[in-house]
Every structure is written in structure tokens, then in C-alpha cells.
Amino acid sequence: MYRLVVSGTFAMAMAAALGYILMNAGIIHPGNLQSDIELPIGYILGLVYLVMGVLLLSRWRWIRIAEIIVVLITIIGFYAMYADQPDVMWSTPGLITKIAQVLMLAGLVYLLLKTRPVKNSNVEAK
């Protein structure tokens, strides 16, 4: 079950990364996006999710905690930024990335709960 969740969470990270990269490249369009500033945020978020997918294969708890925080910030930031633009929030690219992120978040929480902390080998058992 653990490996299945890791694989699924990795796939969701890659789906979110691909969604952000395709949106920023202009291949898919998130509704009638009203923005005066052209920022490479899609490429940055795509790269962040690619790195998170690779780091997901490690078993370090602090990385899982950091990934949970990043995913939460991304989801909350999306809904805070586009609350007045429902065509962006309910667009296909918006839904694809958010569904992938919510499923990734669920997988990360599961993996965090199932990963045991690494014991210090220098401490002797009594």
C-alpha cells in the first residue's frame, strides 16, 4: 500500500507540474485570466512540483512536512488570488491542477503518518 501511495502521489506531483508548465506556455488556458503582469510563476511552480515529486522518493519526514506546507500554500493562494474570477477557478486547467494537488496532499499526509522517524544510531539502547 505504501508504494502505491508513493506512486500515486508522485503522479499527482507530475500532473500538477505539467499543468502549470502548459498554462504558462500558453498551450492550455485557465479561463479569462485577468492579469497585468506576465510572471514566470507557472514555470517556477512547475519546477517546484517536479522537484517535490523527486524528493517524494526520500523517506525524510521534514521533506514531507515541507511539501505539505508548499501544497497548502499553493492551494490557498490560488483560491485567494482568483476568488473573484470563477471562470479561472472552474476552468479545466485550474481544476486539473487543484485536484492533483489535493490528491497529492492526501498522499503526503498518509506518507507522513506512515513514515517512522529515523533513530539516531549513536544512542545506545538500554
pLDDT in tens, 69-122: 999 998 898 888 878 888 877 888 888 888 999 999 999 999 888 877 666 555
Nearest CA to 63 out of 97, 73, 71 is that of 71
> What cell does 6 get?
508513493
pLDDT in tens, 7-25: 888 999 999 888 888 888 7
Average pLDDT of the residues in 47-64? 87
Residue 85 near residue 33, CB atoms below 8 Å: yes
> What cell does 35 get?
492579469
Radius of gyration of the chain (CA): 17
The confidence score (pLDDT) of residue 44 equals 84
Give DSSP secondary structure letters for 6-66.
HHHHHHHHHHHHHHHHHHHHTSS--SS---S---THHHHHHHHHHHHHHHTTS--HHHHHH
47 has a pLDDT exceeding 60: yes
Any idea which of 30-34, 61-65, 103-107, 112-116 has the lowest mean pLDDT?
A: 30-34
Residue 16 near residue 66, CB atoms below 8 Å: no
126 has a pLDDT exceeding 50: no
The confidence score (pLDDT) of residue 125 equals 46
Nearest CA to 39 out of 54, 20, 17, 56 is that of 20
